[in-house]
Structures are given as structure tokens and as C-alpha cells.
Structure 1
Amino acid sequence: MKFPKILASAFALTLLFNVSCRNSDDPIEEELPKGAYENGIIITNEGGYSTPTSTVSFIPNDLSKQEDNIFAKNNDNAVLGNVFQTIGFKGDLAYLVLNVPNKVEIVNRYTFKKSATITSNLSTPRYIAFTPNHTYITNHDFATVKKVNIYTNTNEFVKSINFDRYAEKISSSNGFVYVQTDGLTYDSSYNELATGHTISRINPATNAVDKTITLSDELIIRDMIADENFVYVVTSDYTNSNLYKITSATGNVEKITLTGVAGAQKLALDNGKLYFMTSGKKIYNLAANTPNALFTATASYAYGFNVINGNIYVSDASFTGDSTVRIYNLTGTLVKTLSTGIGTNGFYKN
């Protein structure tokens, strides 16, 4: 009568031993690589206005090699377009915004295989932002087109929001979409003129503007970026610069005068720190609302700028041949120099 109990006990011990062995000795599954362009920097080359010379380059985080023309290479030598404006990321997808062909090419950000194209209702698209349910694309042609187009996650056109003045940079932050609705134009002598001083907020619940923020200076809005909680706007002329820090949930604005800084114009965020570059190619970070000069970059025409993983990327753009990219560390030591495509204008962490 006791024999079945002995067998049952032995079976239970054997099962426990096997489970224990599997838990301790089986190899741990590692996450498979997502593609050749994971863990690196995507470089956008704007190309020429009248010729389809836009391209995309890639370098890994260790800067050990460079691969050019990755859109063409992974899409049967497809031509990307003429004027490659920017890239936006949503999940595993990268949205490549081209404003002369009036299209947005959608690719897998890690393989660069194309999956879709947006063309509906685009007119000189500029910049792109996302919420969980929608895609937002600014359009302006420096003349009559001044709008944001809204699309579903399946790229179906929903509506346009028209503005009195330019719709340029666009960012999503804390559930809202912020649009730079003013910027820069020129008089008949090609002197710079501000077109106004507003930032507009779109509420994704209604896809309508629910707040317009008027900045308190008369300088030109040069750039706008955002993190999860704040939107940062830089304004300047040839002698003065201001930074506006907008709490995205409320629209409340803090104005920071960048004392002693002329011509601040390009913003970057890296590891929670804010950086900017001036028209004189001076690089600063912001510490306790105080601008801290780091170094002056070398470039004839400093066009693209970003700070990624503690490295500062500056493009010396050419629109007749290859551009030059210089990569610096935070102390200004030159780490690497690259030869890139025509009109290199952006650097993106991937």
C-alpha cells in the first residue's frame, strides 16, 4: 500500500530537479538585433533643390565606420528625393520628410526597408510629430501654405489646421502638440525680419488649437524642441538671445535671458541637458539657467547640429558637393571628421 506513495514522491523529486536545472543551467535568451542600423546615428543629407540628391548615412555609436545611401541600398536603389527636411520616429518606424517631392517616406528605422508613403494633401512638408493616435506634419512654402496636416496611424488624412503665419517646427510633449507658428522672412534688401512671436498648442483630444502663446520679445524665433515635460524655444537677433521654457501640460512660460549671447539659433537635448549653437558657431550648454560657453566649432557654413551621447555633431554644409561633419567631445576636442552628402542638415539617435 505504501509503494505508490514512494513512486509519487520520487516523481515529484525528479520533476523538481528538472525544473531547477532548467532555471539555472539553460542559456539566457538574448534579444536579437533589430537591424543593421540599430545603436547608431542617422545622418540626413538634404540634397539639392532641383536635383534628386537627398541621401541618408549611418554611423554606429562607436564611430567605427560609415555607410552612405542606406535608403537606396535597402530599397532597390530607389531615389529618395530633392529636399530632405527631417526625420521623425514612432516605435520601429522612421518618417522621412521631403518637402520638394511633397512626400513622407516611412521605413523601418533599423533596416531602412520602406513600408509606406504619405502624399495626401501635402504641400511643402517641413517637420513632423506624433501622438499615440495621430501624425502631425507642418507645411509651409514661405508664401501661401501655412498649415498642419493630421493623419491617422494608418496614414489616412484627417484634416488641416491653417494658421495666419508660418507653421514650422513641431513637437509633442506631455500629451500635447506644440507648433512654431512664426519665424523668419526677409525684406527687399534681404534683411532678416520676424514674422511674429507665437507658439500654438494643439489638443489631440479635439485636434484643434486650444492655446496660443505670444512670446514677450520681438526677436526671431530660431528653433524649438521638446522633452517629455517642457518645450524650449530660442529667439535671437545679431546682439541678443532669449530662451523660453514652456511647461507643456499648462502652457506656462518662463523667459530666460541668455546674457552675453548673440545669435543663438540651434537647440539640442542630451541626457537631460540643453545645448545650443550660435550664428558665430559657438557651442553653449545651459546650467542653472546660465549659458556656459564650451568652444567654437570649425565650419564655413554650420548647418546641422545635435548633441548625442556626449558628442557634439556639426555639419559644414555644401550644396555643390560633399559636406563635412565634425564630431567633438564636450570639451571641444575633435573626435572624428566625416565626408557626407550634399547639404548635411541633421543627426538622429537611433
Structure 2
Amino acid sequence: MKISKLIASAFALTLLFNISCRNEDNYEEAIPKGAYENGILITNEGGFSTPTASVSYFSNDFAKQEDNIFKTNNGNAVLGNVFQSVGFKGDLAYLVLNVPNKVEIVNRYTFKKTNSITANLSTPRYIAFANNHTYITNNDFFSVRKVNIYDNADNFVKSINFDRYAERITSSSNYIYIQTDGSTYDASYNELPTGHTITRINPLTNEVDKVITLNDEFIIKDMTSDANFVYVLTSNDSTSNFYKIAASTGIAEKISFENVAGGLKLAIDQNKIYMISSAKKVFNITGNTANELFSVTANNIYGFNVINGNVFVADPTFSSDSKTRIYSLTGTLLKTLTTGIGTNGFYKN
């Protein structure tokens, strides 16, 4: 009996120790990384000639909105103007500012600035990362059309120039894909395609290894990716084309959506692909079909994303505060936010 009781006591102590360790591990894992974890970063472009760009934070539970978080956490520092896009690398967020020709690097959870990139930038637009390198497109729509490459310490390495465009950029399957065509205008201000190319860079060599020419005459509107595929949207006033490019091979599959007039932007959320059109309609892309979900309210579709099953649409103004509307996937308006000047993007943080 004494031996049995001794064994039972030892077992109880072991169990208590294991539970304590597990509780301690769980406690350590639950330590927050910063005030802006578990939310959405909202980017506000600002005015072209005034330094009014800003970043807002909106919590996942819709309970908290905080504006001007870059300024608040960096001694009232001015972010700049024409805030174009954000890229994430680990715990860092790279804030790409078009007119000041700089990229501000902050901790994505505290928004404390850690560094800046300015070398060789000229109207930077979008950013991507692969193989310990950073890739930033520069495009002034006149003479500057290049991607700059930086090393893991954010030092400039080289530029690659393109003939017509250097716009959206993304990383998939250990390759970098760049939108190298877009649109121009004729004498009557009609929008025309410059061409139809997507260019691939191999990060192992930092050289172009493939140019994909899209099989249509529409204007390239958007490009995004997941781990294995790059998705490109082209459209005119009556039809939209959707390309699914296998990132490892560069082979493109084209799908035409005759029921989608003027496809504008793409979004990926929980392995599902969404699209919004100039007619202010949201679609879910499934296989070869674009399924209309609902219509949104907006004067101008400028920013669009789907995050955690909620649809974010920016309806901007460029001289005063903008409106952001958040919808469920069934079209219920969940929330209307007042956001900064020229709201243009939503990023899951």
C-alpha cells in the first residue's frame, strides 16, 4: 500500500509539473508582439503635393480604430505623400512612398521605424521579397521603368530596366513576377494598352529568365499570387480575362469572363479568389466561373481586399477624409469607417 501511494504521489507531481510547463508555454506564446497585431493596416495615399499620407489600424473584432500610427510611434514624424503600397518581411513592414522616393521600414506590430531605403529610388511603386533580396518597382509612366534589387541588409545591388512598365510585383514559388505592361492614353485621353507582358526574375541569378505574353488585347488591371500561382486580371468595358500562371514553369491558363465588365482588382482570402469590377460588383472565382456575390456602394473603387471573410472597399477623396465600407460575403454592410486622405489599401497584419 505504501509503495502504491508513493507511486501515485509521484505520478500526481509529474502530472502537475507537466501541466505547469504547458501553461507556462501557452503563456509565453500568448505574449502580444505589439499594439497592432491581429488587425488590418489601412493605407492612406495622401495628396500628391502635400505630405498627408498615413496608416490606420483597425482591429479584427471591429472594436478599435487608430489613425496616424506611423506619426504616433515615431515622434510625430511625417510619413510623406503618395503612399503607394506595403510589403511584409517577417516582423517588418516596408512602406513604399512614391513621391518622396523612399521606403520606410517599421516593426509591423509596434510601427517603430527601424530603417529607410532611398538609394536609387525613383517613383517607387510596389515591393516583393525572395531569396534574401528585396525587389522594388520604379515607374513614372514616362522614362523610369525598372526594378531595383537590394540585399538582405537593404543595400542597393542593381537595377533591371524594362521597355514600357514596371508596376505590380509579387513572389511565388521562389520566383519574382513583374507586371511589365499596362496602359497609356491617346490624344483624346482614351486608355490604351502598352502591351501584354508579365516578366519573371530568377532570384538565384537576379536576371530575367522568362517573359510571358498574355493572349488578349485588354489592359492589365491587377496581379497577385499565392504560394504556387500568379494571377493576372485584364479587362475592357465588356469582358474580363483571368490568367492563372504556374509560377514554377511560367505556363499561363486563360479564362474569359464575359459576365464581368471591367474587372478591376483581385484579392485572395482563405485560399479563395475574389474580384471587383468597375460596375461595383464583387465576384468569387471558382474554377472557370466568376460568381456574382453582391454590389457595393462607392463613388470610386480605389482599394479592395478580402480579409478574414470580410470585404473591404475604399471610396477615397484626395482633399479630405475617405470612406471605407466593410461587407460580409453575403453583401451585408457591417461597418463604415472614416479613413485618411486617398485610402488605397488594406493589409492583414
Structure 2 length as normaliser, TM-score?
A: 0.95
| Deviation for aligned residue 1:259 | 2.1
Q: Which residue of 2 aligns with 1:91?
A: 90
User: Within 5 A, what are the aligned runs for 1:183-194?
Assistant: 183-194=182-193
Using the alignment, how far apart are the partners of 2:16 and 2:60 within structure 1? Answer: 38
Using the alignment, how far apart are the partners of 2:180 and 2:265 within structure 1? Answer: 17
Q: Which residue of 1 aligns with 2:243?
A: 244
Structure index of larger Rg: 1
Using the alignment, how far apart are the partners of 2:338 and 2:207 within structure 1? Answer: 43
- Over the aligned positions, Cα root-mean-square deviation in angstroms equals 1.9
User: Within 5 A, what are the aligned runs for 1:80-229?
Assistant: 80-229=79-228
How many pairs does the alignment contain? Answer: 344
1:28 corresponds, among 11, 14, 24, to 24
SS in 2 for 1:256: strand
Using the alignment, how far apart are the partners of 2:296 and 2:238 within structure 1? Answer: 19
SS in 2 for 1:147: strand
User: Within 5 A, what are the aligned runs for 1:190-339?
Assistant: 190-339=189-338
Q: Which residue of 2 aligns with 1:3?
A: none
Using the alignment, how far apart are the partners of 1:25 and 1:137 within structure 2? Answer: 48
SS in 1 for 2:18: helix
Using the alignment, how far apart are the partners of 2:70 and 2:20 within structure 1? Answer: 43
Change (3 A) 1:238 1:260: same
Amino acid in the other structure paired with 1:304 = G
SS in 2 for 1:168: coil
Q: Which residue of 2 aligns with 1:62?
A: 61
Cα displacement string for residues 154-188 of structure 1 (whole angstroms, at most 9, x for unaligned residues): 00000000001100000000100000000011112
Using the alignment, how far apart are the partners of 1:109 and 1:178 within structure 2? Answer: 24
Change (3 A) 1:20 1:53: same
Using the alignment, how far apart are the partners of 1:240 and 1:49 within structure 2? Answer: 32
| Deviation for aligned residue 1:95 | 0.2
| Deviation for aligned residue 1:287 | 1.6
Using the alignment, how far apart are the partners of 1:274 and 1:259 within structure 2? Answer: 18
Identity %: 66
Change (3 A) 1:20 1:282: closer
Q: Which residue of 2 aligns with 1:6?
A: none
Change (3 A) 1:152 1:296: same
Cα displacement string for residues 112-143 of structure 1 (whole angstroms, at most 9, x for unaligned residues): 00000000000000000001310000001010
Cα displacement string for residues 277-323 of structure 1 (whole angstroms, at most 9, x for unaligned residues): 11111111112220100111100111100000110000111001100
SS in 2 for 1:312: strand
Using the alignment, how far apart are the partners of 2:108 and 2:244 within structure 1? Answer: 30
Larger mean CA deviation between 82-91 and 284-293 belongs to 284-293
Cα displacement string for residues 238-282 of structure 1 (whole angstroms, at most 9, x for unaligned residues): 112100000000101100001221100100001111101111111
Using the alignment, how far apart are the partners of 1:77 and 1:288 within structure 2? Answer: 48
Amino acid in the other structure paired with 1:170 = I
Amino acid in the other structure paired with 1:70 = I
- State whether residues 131 and 203 of structure 2, in contact with CA within 8 Å, keep that contact through their aligned partners in structure 1: no
Alignment gaps of 5+ in structure 1? 1-10
Using the alignment, how far apart are the partners of 1:119 and 1:12 within structure 2? Answer: 67
Change (3 A) 1:16 1:227: same
- State whether residues 259 and 291 of structure 1, in contact with CA within 8 Å, keep that contact through their aligned partners in structure 2: no
Using the alignment, how far apart are the partners of 1:251 and 1:49 within structure 2? Answer: 37
- State whether residues 311 and 326 of structure 2, in contact with CA within 8 Å, keep that contact through their aligned partners in structure 1: yes
Using the alignment, how far apart are the partners of 1:280 and 1:149 within structure 2? Answer: 36
Using the alignment, how far apart are the partners of 1:13 and 1:244 within structure 2? Answer: 65
Structure 1 length as normaliser, TM-score?
A: 0.95
SS in 2 for 1:302: coil
